[in-house]
Amino acid sequence: MKQILIILTLSLSTLWSQIPNGYYDSAAGQTGSALHQSLHDIIDNHNSVSYSSLWTHYQTTDVKPNGKVWDMYSDVPGGTPAYEFTFGSDQCGNYSGEGSCYNREHSWPKSWFNDNSPMSTDIFHVVPSDGYVNGQRSNYPYGEVANPTWTSTNGSKKGPNTYPGYSGTVFEPIDTYKGDFARIYFYMSTRYLNEDSSWPGSPMADGAQLEEWALNMMMEWHEADPVSQKEIDRNNDIYNYVQFNRNPFVDHPEYASYIWGEVAPLPVAPSDLEASNITETTMDLSWTDNASDEDGYYVYQNDTRIATLEMNATSHSFTELEPSTIYEFAVSAFNTAGESALTSTSVSTLGGGSGSVTHFLESFESWEGSGTGYFDGDIPLTSGIWNMYQSGNFSLGAPFTGDYNIAINDDTPGAQITTPAVDSLGTLSFYYYQRNGSEGDEFQIQKSINEGPFETIATQNYDVGETYTLFTLAVNDTSSAIKMRVLNDNQSAHLIIDDLEVTEFPQVSIVPTPELQPSFFSLSPAYPNPFNPSTTLNFQVGLERQNLTLEVFNLKGELVDTPAQGVYAPGSYNLIWDAADAQGNALPSGVYLLKLAGSGVSHFQRITLLR
């Protein structure tokens, strides 16, 4: 098939305004045959109406603004048609020429499916039309005509096809309605997917599936004539009053290219997310624009999208924040193909009237013992007493700021730096890069409380090359005497670190507060996210027991694991997911989609695995 790259310029907020909440959830993230099948399952088993009832339904679904019948074979958009039909009184009957009466046109001719039900009364493709023009069209395929043998008063034509792939007689509607008929045909190919074994077909279709030449032509019509308000209104009326299903290609025109065309690539994700000008209630967020084909950027605050920015945007300002509060911010690029991976960071506002909530920001500038070798033991720095093993601040790498950084040795078991102890720790952040080494290098973040043993709480791959990258980890621990350790245990690379910051976590009240009971069920943010090697998944059940399934999908829409399934009593549930598929195989780095479903309702969340 000729690959058609579809670039759509429709206002999606307008098109989605009346789509029922969650209607297309089961198709999220899918392309190709998987998406085709999912859409079929969504719109299948529609309410089949009688053939005679179509006369009445047209008075809801196919009404011009002036109250006349909306006949695409006689209408002249922006002009005055030669004739118009009145509902009821102008029904066919017999006709002697154009303008005599209107009847019910099977735009997908009924001989192509043996006039069987429910196709014969499916109002999506059975449209009102001039009876005489309907007769001229007969059961010819749609096509493009240069030398017509017959032309209607609005310019619809019959004659030999000039579109490559078929040379027989065809019928060509006017340009204004070519997209309408293309999306009707996409609907037919989807609604009757794998239900067409008895269809005799036609020069245009094999069963319900379009022949290659016809699909190429319809994709071009679909692109050239975008979805109109007429189609949106008709789609909503059919869903609300007639068949209770929808045409997915009116709601989501991009689905056509996702199934049959060449999908534009996702934009490259932004990087180097950094907060600045932090106050008690405001801050600025900046990032590097790595994409060349983005339409804009999405900005998220605590997993909620709060802003849509124009292309080439590299910053956003936040206001009305709460003092002494840690926020999760994320940014992604988007285009017609979808959304890039999220780049995220955790940032704390300043304390309410008490100054900064930062315990310390260590730049490693005050180390009097600077030299050319690695250090083992305790050492006083501006922020307090640090402990180090096989670490030094000599010129092994370029500093991020100032004159010095810290280098943790390679190929050395236990090489590390340990912070001074602090009470109540919010976030740990620093800038890092990899000197030499390999793509499998990783460092661990460990935590000790009250001189207890160090336990690993996070692992980070640092195959970033010699470019500083911001690492941020929300620890959120109200304990006393917390020490944090960065461990570069026997890795092949030197880990270069600068500007290490530890923030305070606001103390919580010791008075217990009643646990909130969600009225139904809900999915809370996974933590940590991004993550490696595991993350904690959280969901809540309200006042009644719920039969729930928690599933993980990749961006191809493929189910990779089902971490939870069963009947759950009211309460909160936490489980650790180790980023493995149902067979126990470790999954690769990437973005995955969580789906918590039950009782006809689904909640979704995006998580990012960084190996």
Q: Say if residue 231's pLDDT is above 80.
A: yes
Q: Say if residue 554's pLDDT is above 70.
A: yes
Residue 17 confidence (pLDDT): 41
Nearest alpha-carbon partner for 389 in 497, 491, 488: 488
Q: Say if residue 599's pLDDT is above 60.
A: yes
Note whether 278-348 and 521-609 share their fold.
yes
Joined together, the tokens standing for residue 163 give 């579109």
Distance CA 475, CA 442 (A): 19
Portion of the chain with pLDDT greater than 70, in percent: 88
Residue 190 confidence (pLDDT): 97
Residue 21 confidence (pLDDT): 85
Distance CA 161, CA 143 (A): 6
| Mean pLDDT value across residues 136-148 | 97
For the beta carbon of residue 507, count every other beta carbon within 10 angstroms.
Answer: 10
Q: Return the axis-axis angle of helices 178-191 and 32-43, rounded to nearest 10°.
A: 90
Portion of the chain with pLDDT greater than 90, in percent: 47
Residue 443 confidence (pLDDT): 93
Question: Confidence band (pLDDT; 50, 70, 90) for 142?
Answer: very high
Residue 345 confidence (pLDDT): 81
| Mean pLDDT value across residues 249-253 | 94
Q: Say if residue 82's pLDDT is above 90.
A: yes
Q: Say if residue 9's pLDDT is above 70.
A: no
Burial of 479 (0-12, 13-18, 19+ CB in 10 A): middle
Question: Confidence band (pLDDT; 50, 70, 90) for 472?
Answer: confident
Residue 263 confidence (pLDDT): 56
Q: Residue holding tokens 């997209």?
A: 179
Burial of 142 (0-12, 13-18, 19+ CB in 10 A): buried
Residues facing residue 571 across a β-bridge: 541
Task: Answer whether CATH 3.40.920.10 is correct for domain 358-504.
Answer: no
| Mean pLDDT value across residues 77-89 | 96
Distance CA 598, CA 549 (A): 7
The CATH-assigned architecture of domain 521-609 is: Sandwich (2.60)
- Choose the weakest-confidence range: 113-122, 148-157, 358-367: 358-367
Q: For 344-373, how does the pLDDT look when each residue is reduced to its tens digit (9 = 90+)?
A: 887 767 654 333 356 888 888 766 555 557
Q: Say if residue 141's pLDDT is above 80.
A: yes
Residue 538 confidence (pLDDT): 80
Joined together, the tokens standing for residue 178 give 């070519």
Model pTM?
0.48
- Choose the weakest-confidence range: 124-128, 138-142, 466-470: 466-470
| Mean pLDDT value across residues 432-443 | 86
Question: Confidence band (pLDDT; 50, 70, 90) for 283?
Answer: confident
Question: Confidence band (pLDDT; 50, 70, 90) for 334?
Answer: confident
The larger pLDDT score, comparing residue 513 to residue 450, is at: 450
Q: Say if residue 161's pLDDT is above 70.
A: yes
Distance CA 596, CA 589 (A): 22
Residue 480 carries which side chain, given as an amino acid letter?
A: S
Highest mean pLDDT among 65-69, 287-291, 370-374, 402-406: 65-69
Pairing of strands 482-487, 493-504: unpaired
| Mean pLDDT value across residues 425-453 | 89
Residue 460 confidence (pLDDT): 87
Joined together, the tokens standing for residue 85 give 């039909």
Q: Residue holding tokens 């709460």?
A: 322
Q: Residue 332 in 3-state DSSP? A: strand
Q: Are 599 and 579 in contact (CB under 8 A)?
A: no
Task: Answer whether CATH 3.40.640.10 is correct for domain 278-348.
Answer: no
Q: Say if residue 114's pLDDT is above 70.
A: yes
| Residue boundaries of the structural domains of the chain | 47-246, 278-348, 358-504, 521-609
Q: Say if residue 276's pLDDT is above 90.
A: no
| Mean pLDDT value across residues 69-86 | 96
Q: What is the DSSP letter of 63?
A: B
Question: Confidence band (pLDDT; 50, 70, 90) for 99?
Answer: very high
Distance CA 7, CA 4 (A): 10
The larger pLDDT score, comparing residue 397 to residue 207, is at: 207
Averaged confidence pLDDT in the chain: 85
Q: Say if residue 64's pLDDT is above 90.
A: yes
Residue 517 confidence (pLDDT): 39
- Choose the weakest-confidence range: 79-88, 250-259, 543-552: 543-552
Residues facing residue 497 across a β-bridge: 406, 432
Highest mean pLDDT among 111-120, 275-284, 353-362, 537-546: 111-120
Q: Say if residue 13's pLDDT is above 90.
A: no
Highest mean pLDDT among 93-97, 143-147, 354-358, 474-478: 143-147
| Mean pLDDT value across residues 162-185 | 97
Q: Say if residue 7's pLDDT is above 60.
A: no
Highest mean pLDDT among 284-298, 373-387, 391-405: 284-298
- The helix (H) or strand (E) run that includes residue 256 is helix 254-260
The larger pLDDT score, comparing residue 167 to residue 507, is at: 167
